[in-house]
Amino acid sequence: LRIFSKEEMLDRFNVVRQASLDMVKPLLPEEFRMQVMGDASPAWWNLGHTTWISDRILHEIGARASRWLETYKQPLNSYYMGEKLARDQRGSVTWPSTLNVLDYRVCVDELVRKQIPTIPDAQWPEFSRYLELALQHEQQHQELFYTETKYLRFQNQPKYRQSYRDVPALLHSSGAPPSWFTIPGGLTEIGNAGDGFGWDIEYGIHQRYLEAFQISSRHVTVGEYLHFEEDGGYADESLWKSNGWKWIQSTHIQAPEYWECQYGTWKNWTLAGMRPLWCSEPVCHVSFYEADAYVRWLSRKGDEYAGVRLPTEFEWESASHCIGDSFAKANFLDSGLLHPRAATSEIVLAGEVWSWTTSHFEPYPRYEEYKGFLSEYNGKFMDNQRVLRGGSCVTERTSVSSSTRNFWPPTTRFQFSGIVLVRS
Amino acid sequence: LRIFSKEEMLDRFNVVRQASLDMVKPLLPEEFRMQVMGDASPAWWNLGHTTWISDRILHEIGARASRWLETYKQPLNSYYMGEKLARDQRGSVTWPSTLNVLDYRVCVDELVRKQIPTIPDAQWPEFSRYLELALQHEQQHQELFYTETKYLRFQNQPKYRQSYRDVPALLHSSGAPPSWFTIPGGLTEIGNAGDGFGWDIEYGIHQRYLEAFQISSRHVTVGEYLHFEEDGGYADESLWKSNGWKWIQSTHIQAPEYWECQYGTWKNWTLAGMRPLWCSEPVCHVSFYEADAYVRWLSRKGDEYAGVRLPTEFEWESASHCIGDSFAKANFLDSGLLHPRAATSEIVLAGEVWSWTTSHFEPYPRYEEYKGFLSEYNGKFMDNQRVLRGGSCVTERTSVSSSTRNFWPPTTRFQFSGIVLVRS
Amino acid sequence: LRIFSKEEMLDRFNVVRQASLDMVKPLLPEEFRMQVMGDASPAWWNLGHTTWISDRILHEIGARASRWLETYKQPLNSYYMGEKLARDQRGSVTWPSTLNVLDYRVCVDELVRKQIPTIPDAQWPEFSRYLELALQHEQQHQELFYTETKYLRFQNQPKYRQSYRDVPALLHSSGAPPSWFTIPGGLTEIGNAGDGFGWDIEYGIHQRYLEAFQISSRHVTVGEYLHFEEDGGYADESLWKSNGWKWIQSTHIQAPEYWECQYGTWKNWTLAGMRPLWCSEPVCHVSFYEADAYVRWLSRKGDEYAGVRLPTEFEWESASHCIGDSFAKANFLDSGLLHPRAATSEIVLAGEVWSWTTSHFEPYPRYEEYKGFLSEYNGKFMDNQRVLRGGSCVTERTSVSSSTRNFWPPTTRFQFSGIVLVRS
Amino acid sequence: LRIFSKEEMLDRFNVVRQASLDMVKPLLPEEFRMQVMGDASPAWWNLGHTTWISDRILHEIGARASRWLETYKQPLNSYYMGEKLARDQRGSVTWPSTLNVLDYRVCVDELVRKQIPTIPDAQWPEFSRYLELALQHEQQHQELFYTETKYLRFQNQPKYRQSYRDVPALLHSSGAPPSWFTIPGGLTEIGNAGDGFGWDIEYGIHQRYLEAFQISSRHVTVGEYLHFEEDGGYADESLWKSNGWKWIQSTHIQAPEYWECQYGTWKNWTLAGMRPLWCSEPVCHVSFYEADAYVRWLSRKGDEYAGVRLPTEFEWESASHCIGDSFAKANFLDSGLLHPRAATSEIVLAGEVWSWTTSHFEPYPRYEEYKGFLSEYNGKFMDNQRVLRGGSCVTERTSVSSSTRNFWPPTTRFQFSGIVLVRS
């Protein structure tokens, strides 16, 4: 793995930490504490939790941690198995206050900045690796923040919802039809073999045997998905997984998250406010169950669509390698758009929206969990979660690659999650 | 009914409205929005809802209402049957913001103040009655605020809970034993026959036939209740209503709300912070089910306690009339103590803590619901709620009398609710 | 209380015990074990439980009990607080088998029959009282059996439901309009003052002060209730108790139990099979919430119906005394009809269907629970249950009088429960 | 695929159909209808459903079906998407009665027997394939019957549980320690490539790349699992999947299904009655979550157990091929033992208990669902189910092979499900 120099790391540390402060600027004081569903954390907690992880890393590598480390362990650690603040109670406590958390950030930031130059060279690789992990972790929470804030502000009545940020209106193409790329079969290497950052779950690198398949050049669009909705897709039990059907029956879900039908017209909630539903954009904020039902519906159309299905995560990764550098031109957080762009004739595999795969989140062969305080992170959640690939318009560019594995339960809709098609 | 003069009413309006602003001063901005259980409303909502009711009353009587009346109807009305903000979603919206609500208060306050002098004398009685109703309603929400804030701040870890207000330490007596007062039987007039304010549910005035009974001179104390707890009262199914037993089994309730056992010592959360549990205080924050189980346990002790039970609301009202003006010396909100006082040898029937009665909240004979926009208030909640009487240490003195009926479901504990005993 | 002679009691014992065997004759072997909702017990259990209570009474009074008493305590006792077979698990066990239970009946019956002649005269009054209690209890379970069997057989598809018994078609009048009887107010004696059997909850006899009121001469009919249903009564939130509204929303209840709309025509399930809905019959199988919403809807019609409401249980009892012997001509189980008769111009206060009252099931003044093994029966269920009065077409004539108090939660519909109106 | 001759098929049909009648002989009439949990069907339904499928197949292939086919569609079809009898309501209906179902069996059996000789040779292959599918399906329901009956009879109190059948006492070895077999890595063919019966989900045959691994020579024993239990395995959150932990917290599960601690000694419920827990038997009736927690606990022991884990289904299938014919000597239903045998030094991969794998139930590449009336069977359940392999002591020998895939949700315990270990 490539090791950042101390100067590079200090720069990167400053940039990432500042980004968290910048992103919360549009919030009212009260919005920092509000938690409107159990899966989403309030902003104060994201700010505090990422700071506590940095603080904990200072301690882990023998550097000087802050004197608040133990104090804030209960509220700011995440999956700690002892006494902990339950995930769905993060909106129920008044301590630590938002001011406490902002102070804590300043304190830990100074500790890190001061100590970086003093780390002995022998320890720098380890320190650097840990610190990069903390920053990658913070970037993940930045993505969560955008999706959580979108969800929070949606809870108001339509007329009184406030946009998060005005962004330039997106140009809208007419939505070019997709083309298909053939990906050859055979043994394929899976896993993070680059010299950039990778999470434990991207290793061990291993072989998978894949049969040849074709992948669509872009994500399924709103317009395409609308046909499914208009064709009664949400009312046809035969299209749905059994658990998915029970779920839409009990939740009365009839369309993707954030779609609202007002006086016969579909509107769509975005981080830039309510907007008409634009058909050429990738469909977004669909659950795995919806993605799965959609492809079953589409496959029954026959002809071009006979046999279409969702990819496995290995197919996606293989396609990403074959197609080449789709990441460079992808729409990530740095575009500032905070929304997927309309489909064009270009190939778009990465960015815009995460692509659901049929793969369950399971360890790779020879997977090793992190040791020590990070050990609880992943293994215990490898159950009833499906893998997503490719990043979205609110993902930090430096936190996603061809081998990055995201994962959510099959009912999750508040992430920017969409659909890509394959066929054998 | 006595009608306030315009000057009296203006004074009273200013006092009550200011009290709402004063009471929220200790809150952090974020605490205005937090809702940590479905039964409790956040502070912003209490401030806004009471204002909207005043605004609505202006409209009702033909005076000039604010231009926000319709805008704020959805979020700030309470039990409105059309489109409404569900009670348990009051912590989930960011609009109207706290600032919006504070502005709205100023606006409506000015409208009321300006128009009072201009009301024609012929309309004054009606206007005055409506306005008094709005102020009484606001005083109820002030009581709710104290109980909700107590509950909110309790959610933090013990070490980090912040008291609402420092209040002088209460002198503690040794807890005088109760004496018994005999109340004669016969036909008794029930209902609000005074010239002060009364809610619809305190009328019609009617006769009840009561058998003679005795009532205890004060509430059950913490020390007395502790015997029940230590005797295994929470583990003895034979003491509990069937529904109550299921409830404590599923909630694992083992003591009154706010009691915490730290290192073998009971502590008690108060609006002035965590404190040792003082045995001579009235026991408080118990549900009806706990009050009911306690008296069953006590009645089995025999001797003096053979046949003790909770009163009916009619027994309580009759006792209150017989014993005379216990309201004048009672510990209400104006004492500033925000907590019940220790038992002394004095008779205490009103104030300190509300007394649970066995009476179900049902209409009196010839009861008439309010007409118009107030009509939804009471009838529909006359189901599975038990009546409480007498007011508590956070009740406004002017909003409670011998005929005042409070009511809550039998599992409610966040109110200052306690126990008084009777025997036949 | 009148004491039966030994011969009378032996006769009565034989009659009641045989009635339980007769009533289960139409069942298939498999139907003895089936439990299709938690509130209803399977037939095997009713047969066994009533036998165990007789057995237990032999033991209680020092006579010879069967050797199975302890063996069958766990499965056949009802509300026993130690180890017990939970009420909703009575369809989940295969032991004791139906044959075991039938054997047990023979065994206990013989023990009772043999010992009656040998009881010393001094002990006969006590023995006799206990035995009568056991028989009254068995008669209650006979009523339950009819309602449970009706419910069980309803679970099949409409075409394949089997009637319990063919009964002669009921003559149908055109449904005479009700008349109103005025009941004077004043002090009224409440409670069982006769020399017949009474449950503990019918004592202590005491005074209630009632205001004068009028009561309808008969129950509300299907035709009258149909107007409520057709007028959108089930969709108008303003008519319903808050808890009732939540309940019909979550259960999607749109009509009384056993009504089914087939091809635009209402059908009604009876113990004699599916039948058209006959408008002149008393409406039946409605919950308290439905009865309450109906009278609110009706009261808004004004004129004759202004101010109509459900009676209190004291009003019902007072009316029953004033109107005189409506029990003698009432339609109880001995008519063999198993269904309410159509309304005529006669006064019908007792029989046909139980009448919901607004009274909560609470003890009378000076109420004393049974001692010993019967002590758990009633007190613990005095919570969120409403009183019904008057008996129904499946109630044994000897088990109901003007003072009999039946009680069920407000959502109960599988009993023959209907509506009678009063107005002030 | 090998096609049975008409004579062979007639024999097989008679044998399989008779086996269903034989297996229910020990049941009481009432036990045919009882359903004590939603996942288990009553015996009447298993008998009827398997018959309806045969009847439906007659119709499908153009032969003469019974005149009851349409009548019994609603209650006896399984996952039919139109009007259907919900799975958890199979114990709630009295129609069709057990006698109806037995009559129906006779009727369909005769239809099949009569028509087999008359099928034109050209249609025989198709007819034969369908009929074999019906018989395989019936054999699956026979396995279900044994597990459901075991569960049903367990619901009684320990003293009064009746064994299903007396079986000879099993000889008990001292439990030989397991040995490890090395399975080479590389490309492996997965799927049913034999000429025997296979379900749709065993095709298409495809390649998987596996890394080399070792597999234990036998299942984990009761004695080995007991160490986990005694070591506090059920109380150590760090061992469990997050969903598994929540599940054992809410269900209070502390040991495998059917283990009961009586006076300090573990007992085990078997189809031959209550027995001491024998340490040398395979542990059985554990959920996936328990299997998963057990291997995590074991892997932390280090040394020999470092890196042990559950196999993937592909590893299991590959091992089964490498180890050779372990099916021939396996303990399946035909042994008559109805319980797993104690471990010996022999290799036991198939039979005894199904082995949980980490593989999620997902389609193989080029999987094709059945067409027509069978189409709903599998695809919609490919969600949150884990694959089990190898068959158990109540599986019919002819219904299981190296490629057979069984699947259940991760909380399922009523199947004979156990644990086999692998390590890389």
Residue of D nearest to A292 (CA): D380
Segment A151-163, tens digit of pLDDT:
999 999 998 999 9
How close is the nearest chain A Cα to the Cα of D189, in Å?
11
Query: What is d(CA C33, CA C20) in angstroms, rounded to the nearest whole number?
Result: 16
Contact state of C358 with B362 under an 8 Å Cβ cutoff? yes
Tokens, residue B309:
């039970």
Q: Is the pLDDT of residue B119 over 80?
A: yes
How close is the nearest chain C Cα to the Cα of B302, in Å?
15
Task: State the ipTM, two decimals.
Answer: 0.93
Residue from the list D81, D296, D362 with its beta carbon closest to the beta carbon of A238: D81
DSSP notation for C192-216: --SSS---GGG-S-EEEEE--EEEE
Query: What is d(CA D207, CA A207) in angstroms, rounded to the nearest whole number?
Result: 12
Cα dist. D169→C19, D271, D275, D341 in Å? 48, 12, 10, 10
Contact state of D211 with A187 under an 8 Å Cβ cutoff? no
> pLDDT higher for B168 or A9?
A9
Residue from the list B74, B94, B96 with its beta carbon closest to the beta carbon of A31: B94
Supply the pLDDT for residue D368.
87
Residue of D nearest to A188 (CA): D209
Query: What is d(CA B299, CA A172) in angstroms, rounded to the nearest whole number?
Result: 78
Q: What are phi and psi of B174, to 5 degrees?
A: -85, 0
Considering only CB atoms, which chain D residues are within 8 Å of C155? 89, 92-94
Which subunits count as partners of chain A given 3+ CB pairs below 8 Å? B, D
Q: What are phi and psi of B293, to 5 degrees?
A: -65, -40
| Contact exists between C and A (3 or more beta carbon pairs < 8 Å) | no
Cα dist. D350→A282, D171, D397 in Å? 48, 20, 10
Considering only CB atoms, which chain D residues are within 8 Å of C161? 95
What are the strands of the beta sheet with C354-360, ordered from one edge? C406-408, C386-389, C354-360, C417-418
Please give the single-letter amino acid code of residue D212.
Answer: A
Which residues of chain D have a pLDDT value below 70? 79-82, 169-175, 376-377
Considering only CB atoms, which chain B residues are within 8 Å of C211? 206, 365-366
Q: Is the pLDDT of residue C175 over 80?
A: no
Segment A337-396, tens digit of pLDDT:
999 999 888 889 999 999 999 999 999 999 988 877 777 667 788 999 999 999 999 999
Contact state of A94 with B29 under an 8 Å Cβ cutoff? no
How crowded is residue D132: how many other Cβ atoms within 10 Å of its Cβ?
A: 21
Query: What is d(CA B298, CA B256) in angstroms, rounded to the nearest whole number?
Result: 17
Considering only CB atoms, which chain B residues are within 8 Å of C380? 240-242, 245
Supply the pLDDT for residue C377.
63
Considering only CB atoms, which chain D residues are within 8 Å of C33? 30-31, 33-34
* % residues pLDDT > 70 (chain B): 97
Segment C115-159, tens digit of pLDDT:
999 999 999 999 999 999 999 999 999 999 999 999 999 999 998
Supply the pLDDT for residue D78.
78
* % residues pLDDT > 70 (chain D): 97
Closest Cα to residue B21, out of B32, B30, B36, B34?
B32
Average pLDDT over residues B94-98: 94
Q: Is the pLDDT of residue C169 over 70?
A: no
Supply the pLDDT for residue B372.
76
Average pLDDT over residues A215-237: 96
Supply the pLDDT for residue C267.
95
Closest Cα to residue A191, out of A417, A408, A401, A332?
A401
Average pLDDT over residues A56-85: 88
Contact state of D94 with C30 under an 8 Å Cβ cutoff? yes
Supply the pLDDT for residue A80.
63
**Torsion sign (Cα): D255, D261, D266, D271:** negative
Supply the pLDDT for residue A264.
86
State the average pLDDT for chain C.
93
Considering only CB atoms, which chain D residues are within 8 Å of C162? 94-95
How close is the nearest chain C Cα to the Cα of D274, in Å?
15
Task: Provide the number of CB pairs (under 8 Å) joining chain A to chain B.
Answer: 76
Choosing among B183, B310, B314, B380, which should be mutated to test the C contact, i.e. which has the most C CBs within 10 A?
A: B380
Residue from the list B81, B241, B362 with its beta carbon closest to the beta carbon of C383: B241
Average pLDDT over residues C54-78: 93
Which subunits count as partners of chain C given 3+ CB pairs below 8 Å? B, D
Contact indicator for B330, B367 with CB cutoff of 8 Å:
no
Query: What is d(CA D98, CA D44) in angstroms, rounded to the nearest whole number?
Result: 6
Query: What is d(CA D383, CA D278) in angstroms, rounded to the nearest whole number?
Result: 35
How close is the nearest chain A Cα to the Cα of D379, in Å?
7
- The D-side interface with A (CB below 8 A) comprises 81, 187, 206-209, 211, 237-238, 240-245, 296, 358, 360, 362, 365-366, 376, 379-384, 410, 424
Residue of A nearest to D79 (CA): A242
Q: What are phi and psi of B210, to 5 degrees?
A: -115, 145
Element at A260 (helix H, strand E): strand A259-262
Contact state of B152 with A94 under an 8 Å Cβ cutoff? yes
Cα dist. D240→A378, D233, D257, D287 in Å? 12, 9, 18, 12
Considering only CB atoms, which chain C residues are within 8 Å of B362? 358, 360
Beta partners for A182? Answer: A214
User: Helix, strand, coil proportions of chain B in percent (round to 5)?
Assistant: 40, 10, 45
Segment B271-298, tens digit of pLDDT:
999 999 999 999 999 999 999 999 999 9
Supply the pLDDT for residue A178.
87
Closest Cα to residue C387, out of C414, C368, C360, C369?
C360
Average pLDDT over residues B376-383: 78
CA B330 to mean position of chain CA atoms: 15
Q: Is the pLDDT of residue C39 over 70?
A: yes
Question: What does chain C come to in residues?
Answer: 424
How crowded is residue B15: how many other Cβ atoms within 10 Å of its Cβ?
A: 11
DSSP C403: T
If pLDDT is split at 50, 70 and 90, which confidence band does B1 have?
Answer: confident
Strands A206-210 and D259-262, bridge-based pairing = unpaired
Contact state of C162 with D95 under an 8 Å Cβ cutoff? yes
Segment C98-110, tens digit of pLDDT:
999 999 999 999 9
Which subunits count as partners of chain D given 3+ CB pairs below 8 Å? A, C
Query: What is d(CA D92, CA C27) in angstroms, rounded to the nearest whole number?
Result: 15
Rg (CA), chain D: 22
Supply the pLDDT for residue B172.
66
Q: How many CA atoms lie within 13 A of D126 on its CB side?
A: 12
- Give A299-360 as a 3 state SS string: HCCCHHHCCCECCCHHHHHHHHHHHCCCCCCCCCHHHCCCCCCCCCCCCCCCCCCEEEEEEE
Residue from the list A33, A75, A93 with its beta carbon closest to the beta carbon of B33: A33
Q: What is the pTM of this model?
A: 0.92
Question: What does chain B come to in residues?
Answer: 424
If pLDDT is split at 50, 70 and 90, which confidence band does C172 have?
Answer: low
How close is the nearest chain A Cα to the Cα of D323, in Å?
22
Task: Provide the number of CB pairs (under 8 Å) joining chain C to chain D.
Answer: 77
Considering only CB atoms, which chain A residues are within 8 Å of D295? none
Tokens, residue D57:
């197949």
Query: What is d(CA C334, CA C337) in angstroms, rounded to the nearest whole number?
Result: 8
Segment A83-130, tens digit of pLDDT:
789 899 999 999 999 999 999 999 999 999 999 999 999 999 999 999
If pLDDT is split at 50, 70 and 90, which confidence band does C176 have?
Answer: confident
Supply the pLDDT for residue B371.
79
Average pLDDT over residues B121-125: 93
If pLDDT is split at 50, 70 and 90, which confidence band does A76 have?
Answer: very high
Query: What is d(CA C30, CA D286) in angstroms, rounded to the nearest whole number?
Result: 32
User: Which residues fall within 8 angstroms of residue C276, CB to CB, at 6 or more apart?
Assistant: C265, C266, C267, C268
Sequence-separated contacts (24+) of A57-61 with Cβ below 8 Å: A57/A130, A57/A131, A57/A133, A57/A134, A58/A108, A58/A111, A58/A112, A58/A115, A60/A130, A60/A372, A60/A373, A61/A123, A61/A126, A61/A127, A61/A130
Segment C334-350, tens digit of pLDDT:
999 999 999 888 889 99
Give all strands (DSSP E) within D297-398, no chain letters. 354-360, 386-389
Supply the pLDDT for residue A170.
66
Closest Cα to residue D69, out of D81, D90, D51?
D51
Residue from the list A81, A241, A365 with its beta carbon closest to the beta carbon of D383: A241
Alpha helices, DSSP H only, in D64-208? 73-76, 98-115, 124-154
Burial C196-233 (b: 16+ CB within 10 A, else e): ebbbbbbbbebbbbbeebbbbbbbbbbbbbbebbeeeb
How close is the nearest chain D Cα to the Cα of C165, in Å?
16
Q: Is the pLDDT of residue B353 over 90?
A: yes
